[in-house]
Amino acid sequence: MEAKNLTVCRNARLAEHLYLMEFEGAFTPPALPGQFIHIKIDGLFLRRPFSVAGQKNNRLAILYKVVGKGTEILARKKGGETLNAIGPLGKSFPVIKKWKNVYLAGGGTGIAPLIFLADKLSGEDVKITFFYGAKSRGCIGFEILPAGINFVFTTEDGSYGDKGLLDRAVCGFIGKNGRPDVIYGGGPAGLLKKIGRISEDFSVPAFVSLENRMACGTGICYGCVTKIKTGSGWEYMRICKEGPVFNTKDIKWD
């Protein structure tokens, strides 16, 4: 992990509330899909965590949604400005060679780490199906979707792809095409919880990226914890350290 200044080289609005920021200056060691960077934003005390959405050569990308003060400031950043970031942080998605048929299921900005994962896996001999859920057509970031991958879209208002929620699309797809070897997920807790249920119902391993408010980002403050099952019950574990990627069978949902 490193703490360094990254230079913004592109900051573009891709869709409603959805922004892509590209930086010059990758980390050593390089980030793996599922890991995040912790960005210092001027005027705010706490850093803000963002999943790495892509990394090529000396470039790094994040995808973000404007939800509050910090992301509003980010959206106004111009090319050439710098931001201090700590990264890469947290555990990445586990990838096993024998998993040849993989599903990625992401809602909103939860697709960010999955885009990176899809990009990594697409060079391998792996069949990828990417389920992308959004509020409406205007919220989908078409530009960043990697080529050569089978996409299944759902929108809440039915303006693009199937109308309805993403987990239903995943279930329906499994019904028609059979079980995948693994499911990777990102997005709102409600969706991730349902992915956990699908994992149980179909006996497919599933790994999801969790989010919580964070302070340190590096495992030293215990601010971002979530309930994880242990032999005797459950314990609060750190999303920034033991996660953000967890096996759904270990997560104790509230």
Ligand X SMILES: Cc1cc2nc3c(=O)[nH]c(=O)nc-3n(C[C@H](O)[C@H](O)[C@H](O)COP(=O)(O)OP(=O)(O)OC[C@H]3O[C@@H](n4cnc5c(N)ncnc54)[C@H](O)[C@@H]3O)c2cc1C
Does residue number 241 form part of the binding site for other proteins (CB under 8 A)?
yes
Q: In whole angstroms, what is the distance from residue 25 CA to residue 49 CA?
A: 17
Judged by CB under 6 A, the stretch of 49-57, 91-99, 150-158, 194-202 that binds ligand X is: 49-57
Tell me: does residue 253 bind other proteins (CB under 8 A): no
191 binds ligand X (CB under 6 A): no
Position 159 contacts other proteins (CB under 8 A): no
Nearer to ligand FMN, 142 or 236 (CB): 236
- What does 117 interact with, of ligand FMN, other proteins, ligand X, none (CB < 5 to 8 A by kind)? none
C-beta separation of 181 from 161 below 8 A: no
Long-range CB contacts (within 8 A, 24+) of 8-13:
8/77, 8/78, 8/79, 8/80, 8/81, 8/82, 8/83, 9/59, 9/79, 9/80, 10/79, 11/74, 11/75, 11/77, 11/78, 11/79, 13/75
Residue 248 — φ and ψ, nearest 5°? -60, -25
State the binding string over 44-73 for other proteins (x if CB under 8 A, else -). xxxx---------------------x----
Residues that bind ligand FMN (CB under 6 A): 215, 221, 223
Q: Does 224 bind other proteins (CB under 8 A)?
A: yes
DSSP at 244: B
Q: What are phi and psi of 65, to 5 degrees?
A: -115, 140
Evaluate the omega torsion of the peptide bond into residue 88 and state whether it is cis, within 30 degrees of 0. Answer: yes
- Indicate the residue among 145 and 215 with the shorter CB distance to ligand FMN: 215
Tell me how far apart the alpha carbons of residues 75 and 186 are, in angstroms, rounded to a whole number. Answer: 22
Report the nearest approach of ligand FMN to the CB of residue 225 (Å): 11
Beta bridge partners of 13: 19
Q: Which stretch binds other proteins (CB under 8 A): 102-110, 149-157, 191-199, 214-222?
A: 214-222
H-run or E-run covering 7: strand 2-15
Q: By beta-carbon distance, which residue lies closest to ligand FMN?
A: 221
Selected from 69, 163, 249, 252, the binder of ligand X by CB under 6 A is 69
Q: Which residues bind other proteins (CB under 8 A)?
A: 1-3, 40, 44-47, 69, 86, 212-226, 235-236, 241
Binding site for ligand X (CB under 6 A): 36, 48-51, 62-65, 67-71, 109, 112, 211-214, 239, 244
